[in-house]
């Protein structure tokens, strides 16, 4: 009957071929039953991560976790068996033992680092049979911040502790052609395998003409951190007179914080900070500086200087808007000049000088008369 079903039965040779076919078929079915597809797990750098694995529970569970041929974790005889565990994983792995009776052989991998990335195999065995599950582990170190500076003829952008290596994109406001905004980008792994990315572009035309935008983009495009910087032309103020220093975000931010700093010779000092979610202001220059509260809700964070002094308050004022994965800085060079005499004071001095002329003349004539006689 089997030969008729296969239609290949021709003597012993046909029987042998049929048996071989059945063995291959049974082996294939066994593989399909015991081997599952590869699952992808993304683990965050330095955090704990769970590699999932399940099986049909029964008595005398045996669990082996491997990374390629390296022993990661073993469990049998109702306890961990770590004699052959690779030293890289020592003290960093554990099973959910109370879940083994429910068929959960997942591995908890602690304090993940870049070298943990790779293909893992979970082998499980009971009196009912065995099973293999594969887990492809990808490690990610997320972008935390992007730093930007404008010095001389160059705008630089940098970030660090990122994995895998990110991409960098530049733009300007107003827009400039991509052929004119050529960037130089270097990505360097550190001793932990995390990447430091440094990128720079040359300033186009006058330093005040453009705002420069640098975006650091994660390898999977899930994260985009954008920082921008803009320099304004020198602002001239007068001692004793209120001065408004402008700062406008490049777009209408929904949730943001605003910080003003002042730099004269050394490191910047904080003037004030504002959080639009709580609408609270922390002002370290109380009575000397403040915000236009009706404007700040519209992402306009101009700073009002009250009664500035020429030497003390001349310098660089920087406002920084910080939102979700966005940061915008505006640098304002402010020069406070000495107060000029008012028209009223000038007139009083002139009147006083006119009043003194007859008296001076009389003294001179008296002196001349005494000399002659």
Where is the domain boundary, 222, 237, 258? 222
285 belongs to a structural domain: yes
What DSSP assignment string belongs to 78-91? TEE--TT--GGGTT
List beta partners, residue 274. 258, 281
14 belongs to a structural domain: no
User: Does residue 239 share a domain with residue 336?
Assistant: yes
Band of residue 292 on the pLDDT scale cut at 50, 70, 90 = confident
User: Does residue 115 share a domain with residue 59?
Assistant: yes
pLDDT in tens, 61-113: 999 999 999 999 999 999 999 999 999 999 999 999 999 999 999 999 999 99
pLDDT at 250: 76
User: Does residue 296 share a domain with residue 213?
Assistant: no
13 belongs to a structural domain: no
CA distances for 218 relative to 27, 188, 372, angstroms: 43, 15, 99
Q: Does residue 35 register a pLDDT over 70?
A: no
Band of residue 372 on the pLDDT scale cut at 50, 70, 90 = low
User: Does residue 234 share a domain with residue 181?
Assistant: no
Instruction: Strand 147-151: give its sheet, edge to edge.
Output: 147-151, 154-162, 195-202, 183-189
pLDDT in tens, 238-265: 999 999 999 988 777 778 899 999 998 8
Question: Mean of the per-residue pLDDT values for the chain?
Answer: 84
The separation between CA 279 and the C-alpha centre of its own chain, rounded to angstroms, equals 24
pLDDT at 229: 96
CB 334 within 8 A of CB 317: yes
Task: Indicate left, alpha or beta for 193 from its phi (over 0: left) and psi (-120 to 50: alpha).
Answer: left
Host domain of residue 331: 229-340
Cβ-Cβ contacts under 8 Å for 83 (sequence gap 6 or more): none
pLDDT in tens, 108-136: 999 999 999 999 999 999 998 999 999 99
CB-facing half-sphere around the CA of 33: CA atoms within 13 A: 10
Kindly calculate the radius of gyration of the chain based on its CA atoms and give it in whole angstroms.
Answer: 38
User: Does residue 130 share a domain with residue 79?
Assistant: yes
Cβ-Cβ contacts under 8 Å for 260 (sequence gap 6 or more): 247, 270, 271, 272, 273, 289, 301, 303, 317, 318, 319, 320
User: Does residue 209 share a domain with residue 256?
Assistant: no
Q: Does residue 8 register a pLDDT over 80?
A: no
Total domain count, the chain: 3
Band of residue 29 on the pLDDT scale cut at 50, 70, 90 = very low
80 belongs to a structural domain: yes
Cβ-Cβ contacts under 8 Å for 185 (sequence gap 6 or more): 168, 197, 198, 199
Tell me the H-state helices in 226-323.
293-296
List beta partners, residue 257. 275, 322
């Amino acid at each position: 009957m089997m030969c008729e079903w296969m239609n290949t039965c021709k003597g012993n040779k046909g029987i042998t071929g049929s048996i071989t076919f059945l063995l291959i078929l049974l082996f294939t079915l066994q593989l399909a039953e015991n081997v599952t597809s590869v699952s992808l797990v993304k683990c965050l750098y330095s955090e704990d991560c769970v590699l999932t694995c399940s099986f049909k529970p029964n008595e005398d569970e045996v669990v082996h976790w491997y990374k390629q041929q390296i022993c990661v974790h073993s469990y049998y005889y109702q306890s961990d068996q770590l004699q052959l565990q690779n030293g890289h994983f020592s003290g960093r792995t554990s099973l959910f033992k109370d879940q083994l009776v429910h068929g959960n052989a997942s591995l908890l991998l602690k304090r993940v680092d870049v070298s943990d990335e790779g293909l893992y195999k979970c082998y499980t065995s009971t009196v009912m049979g065995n099973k293999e599950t594969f887990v492809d582990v990808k490690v990610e170190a997320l972008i935390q911040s992007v730093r930007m500076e404008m010095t001389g003829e160059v705008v630089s952008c940098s970030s660090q502790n990122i994995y895998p290596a990110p991409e960098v994109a530049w733009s300007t406001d107003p827009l400039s052609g991509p052929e004119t905004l050529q960037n130089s980008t270097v990505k360097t792994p550190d001793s932990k395998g995390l990447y430091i990315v440094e990128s720079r572009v040359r300033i186009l035309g006058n330093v005040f003409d453009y705002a420069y935008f640098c975006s650091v983009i994660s390898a999977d495009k899930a994260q985009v951190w954008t920082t921008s910087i803009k320099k304004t032309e020198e602002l001239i103020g007068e001692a004793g007179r209120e001065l408004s220093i402008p700062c406008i975000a490049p777009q209408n931010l929904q949730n943001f914080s605003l910080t003003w700093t002042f730099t004269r010779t050394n490191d910047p000092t904080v003037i004030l900070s504002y959080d639009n979610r709580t609408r609270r202001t922390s002002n370290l220059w109380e009575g000397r500086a403040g915000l236009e509260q009706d404007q700040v809700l519209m992402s306009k964070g101009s700073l009002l200087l009250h009664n500035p002094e020429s030497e003390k308050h001349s310098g660089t004022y920087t406002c920084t808007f910080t939102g979700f994965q966005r940061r915008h800085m505006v640098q304002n060079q402010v020069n406070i000049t000495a107060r000029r005499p008012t028209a009223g004071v000038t007139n009083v001095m002139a009147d006083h000088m006119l009043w003194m002329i007859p008296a001076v003349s009389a003294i001179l004539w008296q002196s001349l008369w005494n000399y002659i006689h």
